[in-house]
Each structure stands twice: as C-alpha cells, then as structure tokens.
Amino acid sequence: MRVKICGITNIEDARLCQSYGADALGFIFHRKSPRYIPISRAAAISAELSVFISKIGVFVNESPEFINEAVKKAGLTAVQLHGDEPPDIIGRIDRPVIKTFRIKSASDFSKLQLFEKSAILLDSYSDQVYGGSGSAFNWDLIPAPLRSRIILAGGISSENIEKIYMEIKPAGVDLSSSLEMSPGRKDPQKVKAFFLTLQRLTKLS
C-alpha cells in the first residue's frame, strides 16, 4: 500500500516524510487552501528531494495550460485534480493524472467510469472545502471490486490505518491534516507514529 503525504509547504516536512518512507508528497496549488504554496516554493522543495519519490501537484478547476506550466516549473511527476474538472481534460495534461471524487452517497460512484484514463482518489465530501477536511466518509459504500484500485483519503490516521490496511486494502492512502500540528506544518511525532504503525502491519501480513 502506497502512502502519499499531502499539504507539504516546507523542505523540513518534506525531508521528514521522505525519511520515513513516504512514496509521494503533495503540493497544493489551490489558493483558498490553508496549505497553499506558490509554484516557485514547490519547485525549490522538489529540487531537494530524491528522484525516487513522487512529487504531485494538487489543482482545483485550473486550465490544462496552467497545470502543465506548473508541472515544468515544479518538477512534478503526477497531477491530482481535486475540483469539478471534465473528463476530456485528462488527455491535455502532460503527466499521469489522479482524479479525486468527493463521496457523499453511493450514487457518487457512477461518475468514476467517465475517468477511465486516470487513477482514482476517494475523499470526503464537504461543501466548505475541496480537501483536507480531516473527516472520513462511509468506507462501506466503496464497491468491493474497486477497493484494491483506489487511493483512499479523508480522516486517515494512525488510529484507523489498521482497519484500512486489513479490511479495505486500497492501492494507496493520502494523509494531510491528521499528521499536522497546524495547517501546513507536520507534527514529527504524528508522522513517526503513523509510519511505525504501518511498518508493523506490513510485517504482520
């Protein structure tokens, strides 16, 4: 199970997450987010990281031109679309795409078939923010055939990663606010605790 740590705003947190084995780090380019950073800062952080860790830019309802420019400047390896983007935008982006779906009810899964050319991330629905709410949705709604293919987000922490790892078994998980001391600042102890818990689960399986 892969791990993406999102909402990275500084090199110290990036190096911390990298040192514990994060597979990917996320930079948020949505200006209304408390974890927003400019492309130039993401580029500076990305340049200091290992070539083996994925650098993912998170965008909300931006144009393909803006996204592709950010890809070049920040050295992104993938793009995460977290807004209400149409399916045809996928083919106009120069990197692999992760499309986020904010889940409120079982009917929301009908939209996934429109995005067959992208990876799928499932997050909690909120009418106030596009992500980073820290709340989990009802994971029982996730269709069984879909579970091993998704990236799961929303309220994931050291406290529930065992349930996720043992029962849902997603391809990956995406964490942000549960590992913070304040928006945009990771808590070293929470990061350590999460990865130690995950390492224990891996050894048991």
123 part of the active site: yes
Question: Is pTM beyond 0.85 here?
Answer: yes
Total structural domains in the chain?
Answer: 1
User: Per-residue pLDDT averaged across 132-152, rounded?
Assistant: 88
Q: Rg for the chain (alpha carbons), in Å?
A: 16
Average pLDDT of the residues in 24-50: 97
Is residue 18 scored above 90 in pLDDT? yes
* pLDDT surpasses 70 at 80: yes
Instruction: In whole angstroms, give the CA distance from residue 9 to residue 44.
Output: 11
Check if 94 is active-site.
Answer: no
Give me the mean pLDDT over the 31-35 stretch.
95
Catalytic residue chosen out of the listed positions 6, 13, 17, 174: 6
Residue, of 99 and 135, whose pLDDT is higher? 99
Say which of 84, 123, 127, 187 is annotated catalytic.
123
Res 110: pLDDT: 86
Q: What is the CATH number of the domain that holds 167?
A: 3.20.20.70
Alpha carbon separation from 177 to 42, 45, 48, 132 (Å, rounded): 19, 20, 23, 6
Checking if the pLDDT of 132 tops 60, the result is no
Tell me, what's the pLDDT at 119? 96
Mean pLDDT over 4-32 rounds to: 98
**Confidence class for position 126, pLDDT limits 50, 70, 90:** low
Enclosing domain of residue 43: 2-204
Q: Which of 126, 26, 104, 171 is nearest to 17 (CA)?
A: 26
